[in-house]
Structure formats: C-alpha cells, structure tokens
Structure 1
C-alpha cells in the first residue's frame, strides 16, 4: 500500500452531536486533501498541550509512554493512520530498538499524541485518503476559519484582559498546579499577547 505523508492542520471543537468531542484535521503534505478525525476531549488536550509546548506539572499518559520508551531504549519512527472500517479510524505506532521493528495498534488520537512527542512523521494510506479525505473549496475554507473555535477555551466568562501581567502569571501557576490546562492555555495566550 502506498503511504502519503500527512500533517496536523488544526484542532477544534467538533460540530458533531457528541458533547466534548473535537475534530483533529490532518492534511496531505503535498496535496489538498484533508482527513478529519473526531477525537475525545482528553486526547485533544494531550495533543494541544504538546503542540503549544505547555508542560504539565505531572506527566500525562503520552509523556509516560515516551519516558518508558526511552527507558527501554526504543524509539517511535513513524505514525500511520492505517485503516478505516465502518467509519472508525485505526492507527499504528511504528517502533524500533535498532534491531527489531514492530507496529503497535493504537487509536489515531493516542498515536498522534505520542508521535508529536517523538517528533516523527505522520502517514496514512492512499486508500484511507481516497475513502475519507475531503477537499475544501476556498469559500468553505474561509467559512471554516471564521467559525472555528480554538480547542482551549475558558469555560468562565472571565475577562483575562482586565488582569495585570503579575496577576496573570499568578493565575497561570494556579491553573497549572490544579492541572486545569484549558484555563492555563487561555491565560498563557493573554500573557503572550502582551509580550
């Protein structure tokens, strides 16, 4: 099967009827097709934290996987979105110890979260893209950009712009200590706006 390299294009709240679901949008590196995958809130958070380079106080499951891998001297070499059956995506984490290479079955969201941490390339098979890939017109892309909500949104109506930089840094520490990464990301974004 021919592999096609893909990359993460975006992560946003899903318009599906499932509460707490997010859309992970992957796209061809050398093409126009996109591969939207609906994932859960915790997996979306794990992906977003690594993309945004936010370090939680305690390691998350995917960070634990990376530490475990390094402890036993194996590396992840690539992530493959390998199949689509009855609307469900499947993935493989390709690992090696330098001698033996194995493929480990995984949910795409977990595989992507792990792949980001190992900074490896992502692939899918042409058959998966042919079945589930979509091409957006310029008008659809414009509408999507206007309506897309970022994944990390504060649940309160708190106006972060009303706080001093010192208070924001204090609030950021509190959010990280409480492992409230959604709030921490929102506060960090406000701090970055002022830098």
Structure 2
C-alpha cells in the first residue's frame, strides 16, 4: 500500500459540541483533507507546537516526552496513520535509538503532537484517505464525524470553521500591539494556551 504525506491545515472547533475539536490534515500532493476529532488537551498541545512564539512556563506532557527522548537519544522518524476501524484512526510512531528502529502504537492526536516537536513527517495510507478524505468547500467543514472520546470521525453533520477564521476574536481587534503582547504573556503564564493562540493570531495580522 502506498503512503500519502500529510501536513496540518489547522485546528477547528465545533459550534454546537462543547469540547469537540477537529484536527484538519491536508494531502500534500492533492486537495483532500482528513478531519480527525481530538480532545481539548491534545488540541492545545498541537496548537502550541504550531505557534512557535508560545512557550509554556512548564513542559506539557508531549514536551516532557520530547525532553525524555532527547536525553536518551531517541528519535521520532515519522508517524503513520495506519488503520481506520469503526471511525477510529490508529497510528504508529516510528522511532530509532542506536540505529535500532521500533514501532510504537499511539493515539493519532498524541502521535501528531510528538511529530510536530520532532519535525517528523506524517503519513497515511492511500486507502484510508480514499475512505475518510473530504474536500472542503470554502472555509467550512461539513463532515460526518461520530462523537467519540478517541480519535475518530463525527456521525452527524457538524459545522466547523478553520482555525484561521475563528481564532481572532473581536475583543482583540482594537488593541495595540503592545497591549496584545501583554495579554499574550498573561495568557501563557496562566497556561491558557487556547487564548494565547487567538491573541498570537491577532498579533500576526497586525504585524503582517
């Protein structure tokens, strides 16, 4: 089976389901998107890894794993989303230590959070993308995702907007760059990383 490389398009949230986030993966050499439902903690961890300017005052669980792996010379080479069963995605982390390769089973959200920290590529098999891949129309995602605790796809249609359209709130629009940086530092110190990501987006808009 042929592998398809994926990149992260963004993280979106459900307007109707509290705590439901969708990680949107993008086919590198195509137009299909792979939406995967993840928990709030994993969504924050992935968002922090994407936002290079946000540095948590204490290491998150995935940061701790990265520090542990660095200390013992463990390298994450790649992540493969290798199976889709009953709407749940299964992933493997391909690691290497002392030139010995190991394959470790992981939840897809955890595997991707680690892949970002190791700058490791993310892949899936073509048959999985054929089965679960979708095409986005405009900036909305209407997907069939099943409301489960593990990584999966939603069963009833939910409306998601891509993160770049939803992270900047009107309350930050009139703030100056200096005020936004103060709010950003405050949010990071309070470990409110979702708020910090939204402020960071507004700063990026003003600085561009």
TM-score (norm 2): 0.80
TM-score (norm 1): 0.85
Q: How far 1:95 sits from its partner (Å)?
A: 0.2
**Aligned twin of 2:86:** 86
Whose Rg is larger?
1
CA distance in 2, matches of 1:36, 1:190: 25
Q: Does 1:52 align with 2:43?
A: no
CA distance in 1, matches of 2:124, 2:181: 41
Q: How far 1:153 sits from its partner (Å)?
A: 4.1
**Aligned twin of 1:124:** 124
Higher strand share: 2
Which whole-Å deviations, capped at 9, do the CAs of 1:125-147 have from their partners, x for residues lacking one?
1221222122x2xxx521528x7
Q: 1:172·1:188 contact (CA, 8 Å) conserved in 2?
A: yes
Q: 1:98 to 1:31 in 2, by over 3 A?
A: farther
Q: Does 1:144 align with 2:140?
A: yes
**Aligned twin of 2:146:** none
CA distance in 2, matches of 1:149, 1:28: 16
Q: 1:32 to 1:161 in 2, by over 3 A?
A: closer
Q: Does 1:39 align with 2:34?
A: no
Query: Of the candidates 170, 180, 192, which is equivalent to residue 168 of structure 1?
Result: 180
Q: How far 1:83 sits from its partner (Å)?
A: 0.4
Instruction: Structure 2 unaligned segments of length 5 or more: list them.
Output: 142-159
Q: 2:5·2:122 contact (CA, 8 Å) conserved in 1?
A: yes
Which whole-Å deviations, capped at 9, do the CAs of 1:68-127 have from their partners, x for residues lacking one?
111111100000001011111010110001421111111111100100111111111122
Q: Over aligned residue pairs, what C-alpha RMSD do you find?
A: 2.4
Secondary structure at 1:142 match in 2: coil
Instruction: Structure 1 unaligned segments of length 5 or more: list them.
Output: none
Which whole-Å deviations, capped at 9, do the CAs of 1:146-191 have from their partners, x for residues lacking one?
x71527748xx87223444433332222211111112222223333
Which whole-Å deviations, capped at 9, do the CAs of 1:15-49 have from their partners, x for residues lacking one?
6x642111111122112322111111111111111
